Amino acid sequence: GAVVSQHPSWVICKSGTSVKIECRSLDFQATTMFWYRQFPKQSLMLMATSNEGSKATYEQGVEKDKFLINHASLTLSTLTVTSAHPEDSSFYICSALIGTGDQPQHFGDGTRLSIL
């Protein structure tokens, strides 16, 4: 089945550091990739929608300069949290979509980001 690999799975770093998270579709080409943020015991909140070769579309309230998204190929999207601070600590999850229409999204295993 469609596999999405997300790396790293866990990262701890100091405040002010920039952190890059990769999301790869391993056995398919993704028309669209999505980035979500999830706080403990809460639901997923969509941060941005990413299409290969074009600028990401950010949801209202998400700082595009803070959360840089690059979608360089049909199998790779990256999220960079720039100058991370403790309030950016969260669980970040990516997903990928094959084609259009009534299709499920395929999710990575998430990245737990802890900023000290």
Provide the binding-site residues for other proteins, judged by CB under 8 A. Answer: 4, 6, 32, 34, 41-44, 46, 49, 91, 93, 95, 100, 102-110, 112
Q: What is the DSSP string of 17-49?
A: --EEEEEEESSS--SEEEEEEE-TTS-EEEEEE
Taking Cα atoms as reference points, which of 11, 6, 23 lies closest to residue 89?
A: 11
Determine the residue type at 13.
Answer: C
In the complex, least distance from residue 107 CB atom to other proteins, rounded to whole angstroms? 4
Q: Which is nearer to other proteins, 36 or 81 (CB)?
A: 36
Closer residue to other proteins, CB minimum distance, 84 or 92: 92
